[in-house]
Chains A and B, each alone.
Chain A
């Protein structure tokens, strides 16, 4: 894999696809060899994490856990850290962030149609949702049959931060890592310049009119997807599901973008805000985070 030099922009860009998203790394350096080294490092790490935690690969660690049918599984150190983190986020969100809620996808398909599921169907799937229903004693996990874990709400942000760490351990250059809109910036560009991040406006696809962020360092993540919703009888059902009810959170913004110390933290704050529904902006203001909300 080779980087391309961005014409006249004095930085290098490498791109690839991983975790179902376009991924890119921008490197503020004149050193082509270093840029290629960092690009390869980032791509390899992203593919490693994808391979390990993808729901779509039967040989992934996650798939092995989901296929354990109630038998105890011993997690490796990295997986254990992710499970610990998921547990803390579950607690901090009063149970609203729950990595077991992925099974609700069986009844909720946010394809823009009006196919809102029957309440009974939702209630049936909900029996298999709830972090408190599994046993997690680091490093042993017992996941009851019928339950599934989904690291979709953490994995991509985690990959961004991991790649950023690897870059900063390799060279002291400013790099921007962007995996499908989840971003980490490892430090100010040469000349103390910022990186500028445009934010897509879902009302006008392809534009970046919602306001830009200028960053020297930190993580940025967006929760929400304007294309994933159902519309029935004039009611819009967004794709953020409340694991307590099994139904979409009402009044949630179309998307929330948050800036934080790490991409993981930014992503979690954005998810927490979405889970607040109509109170999302209020929540973000209370947390004193730099954010953009699109309704």
Chain B
């Protein structure tokens, strides 16, 4: 085998081998695995609130022998309005240039874009184990995040059992769009953090212009997407006692998040697969939403007399257990999962999710989904605070920390596209309800809906193919 023939050798041998078997060369070839693309366009619309358009793709390049790299770019565009935390009253409320009519929930309009990218590299370590290493980053006008993650999966018991462990860490930075990180539990319009004891006698409270900078707008959609925002042209001006002059560097705060997971997947029998995960997460740093306030109300009449910025603890310890079972019927597949979540903020939640995969034949399928979610309120959740009463250590009126429950119904239809592709459409409708008329409502508050709830629709188009 001389040097010059080496490159030719394998081709010649492959051709000879195929000739022996009477097949075309490459007819049995283990062609390099193709690039796999899973892409989706998502439209999320909350009734009267936020709209999100998101385009995302998951591009996976196998490198052979189980090794692969994956790139996941995502672009979001968020518009609409999110609750400020203030409750509706029987009078009109002003919030910068937005005026909220009597009986309506104060909202703040905003718009933002989010760009995110994830990279991951998976590699088998040996016959029974696999590692995945990843990194991700996202950028918004007022929020940046970078993170790393790693996981290991080890098969046991004739590959019927898989033990997985994962660890992820991220460092997030928020730079409120007004340039100022508001001091927590500070009454708006004053410079004192104990201002709640001196209510303004104004009959119709007004957010001063200067506070537009302090309380712009951020929301987290129901899907967990954190979105910060600032209306275009929002300017800063002095006057509230904190800095905010044009030219002053924007203040920022950071938070660190570490999440760990241990999971066990077990093949129960030929038709049943079960998974049990335990997750532990620690968040520390600035966990307050700089854009949210609470209404300060008169202790007798229930009239809103002012607003106070929210403040949350600077650590949060989250835990959850997740159980999933996948049942393969002769043709259909049922996915049933339950998750119990608890944290040291006093939140407890239960999630039950059911998917039924109807095989329609010829690679068409229909997948109805039903999901129920219920949570208890965080210890420091208050729909409003009583003016003049001693301030709690922490307080937030964020509807996501309230006691609430939601139902989600969805339907997905998928059909094959070529040999390896799939095209799908999915629609879901989510209805979230909470305690609209809590027992501790005062005076005029009893006439108001203190938890207006949320209705959201999601439409998603998916396209998967191999190149």
A residues whose Cβ falls under 8 Å from a Cβ of B: 8-10, 30, 81-82, 84-85, 88-89, 92-94, 96, 158, 161-162, 164-165, 184, 194, 196, 198, 208-209, 211-219, 259-262, 264-265, 268-269, 272, 276, 283, 286-290
Contact = CB atoms under 8 A, between A and B. Distances in A.
Nearest to A289: B10
Contact of B16 (A85, A194, A209): A85
A288 B21 CA distance: 23
Contacts of A94: 1-2
Interface residues of B, number: 40
Interface in B223-271: 267-270
Given A261-B30, A264-B17, A269-B10, A214 B65 contact: yes
Given A8-B270, A162-B21, A264-B21, 15 more contacts: A85-B19, A88-B16, A92-B1, A92-B5, A209-B126, A212-B124, A262-B21, A262-B28, A264-B17, A265-B17, A269-B13, A272-B9, A286-B6, A288-B10, A290-B65
A81 B22 contact: yes
B389 interface: no
B124 to A, nearest CB: 7
B2 A8 contact: no
A268 B13 contact: yes
B265 to A, nearest CB: 13
Contacts of A184: 28
A81 B14 contact: no
Contact of B14 (A158, A208, A265): A265
A162 B7 CA distance: 27
B20 A261 contact: no
B9 A217 contact: no
Nearest to A77: B22
B188 to A, nearest CB: 56
Interface in B156-204: 158-160
Given A94-B2, A164-B28, A290 B13 contact: no
19 contacts: A81-B19, A81-B22, A84-B20, A85-B20, A88-B16, A92-B13, A93-B1, A96-B1, A158-B20, A165-B23, A216-B30, A217-B30, A217-B31, A219-B28, A260-B30, A272-B13, A283-B6, A286-B7, A287-B9
Nearest to A85: B20
B18 interface: yes
A196 B6 contact: no
A260 B127 contact: no
A268 B17 contact: yes
A287 B127 contact: no
Main secondary structure of the interface of A (DSSP, over half): mixed
A136 B456 CA distance: 79
A196 B28 CA distance: 18
A259 B28 contact: no
Contacts of B22: 81
Contacts of A260: 14, 17, 30
B144 to A, nearest CB: 36
B1 to A, nearest CB: 6
A194 B9 CA distance: 29
Q: Report, nearest first, the 4 A-B pairs whose CB atoms are least far apart.
A: A212-B127, A218-B30, A265-B17, A85-B20
B29 A261 contact: yes
Contact of B126 (A211, A217, A218): A211
A261 B66 CA distance: 17
Interface of B: 1-2, 5-7, 9-10, 12-14, 16-23, 25-26, 28-31, 33, 64-66, 124, 126-128, 158-160, 267-270, 330
B23 A85 contact: no
Contacts of B127: 196, 198, 208, 211-212
Contacts of B270: 8-10
A21 to B, nearest CB: 20
Given A218-B28, A261-B30, A287 B10 contact: yes
Contacts of B128: 212
A10 B19 CA distance: 35
Contacts of B29: 217-218, 261
Contacts of B19: 81, 84-85
A85 to B, nearest CB: 4
A57 B273 CA distance: 50
Contacts of A81: 19-20, 22
Nearest to A162: B21
A41 B17 CA distance: 22
Contact of A165 (B6, B21, B66, B330): B21
A96 B9 CA distance: 14
Contacts of A89: 13, 16
B1 A264 contact: no
A164 B17 CA distance: 14
Contacts of B18: 261-262
Given A165-B23, A194-B66, A213-B65, A259 B9 contact: no
A211 B65 CA distance: 11
A172 to B, nearest CB: 12
A197 to B, nearest CB: 9
Nearest to A265: B17
Nearest to A212: B127
A192 B13 CA distance: 29
Contacts of B33: 216
A8 B16 contact: no
